[in-house]
Amino acid sequence: MSSTTGQEHPIGIYLKIWLLLFVLSACSYMVDFYGAQGYLRWSLILIFMFLKAGFIVAIFMHLSWERLALKYVLLVPPIAILVLISLMSIEGEYTNLTRHVFFER
């Protein structure tokens, strides 16, 4: 079709993102190495995870240069997964509770 020239960007941006992903991975490794615990650990893990995932999708997979039509196709459906996660965490807590009640009678 018309403008299927593909994605062309300066090579420097890939090297920068590459380096950034290295640093972020090192940071998330440090979370475990220094043994951060509790909410600090979980929030740091999630922050580094979402930053890494975001850079991979936006830059390496070029999503930030794609048309809005594609962005919505890819980013809206996963909202259903958030619903599943919340339902399953409630379910898991319930199963855990029933097991404790049943096995520790």
Sites of contact with another protein (CB under 8 A): 1-9, 11, 14-15, 17-18, 21-22, 25, 28-29, 31-33, 35, 41-42, 45-46, 48-49, 52-53, 56-57, 59-62, 66-70, 72-74, 77-78, 81, 84-85, 88-89, 91-93, 95-96, 99-100, 103
Please report how close the Cβ of residue 27 comes to another protein at its closest, in angstroms. 11
Q: Under 8 Å CB-to-CB from 31, ≥6 apart: which residues?
A: 41, 44, 45, 48
CB of 4 to another protein, least distance (A): 6
Complex with another protein: residue 6 or 105, whichever CB lies closer: 6
Contacts of residue 52, defined as CB under 8 A and 6 or more positions apart, other chains included, come to: 21, 24, 25, 28
As measured in angstroms, the least distance from the Cβ of 43 to another protein is 12
The CB-of-44 to another protein minimum distance in angstroms stands at 9
Structure tokens that stand for 41 in this block: 């650990």
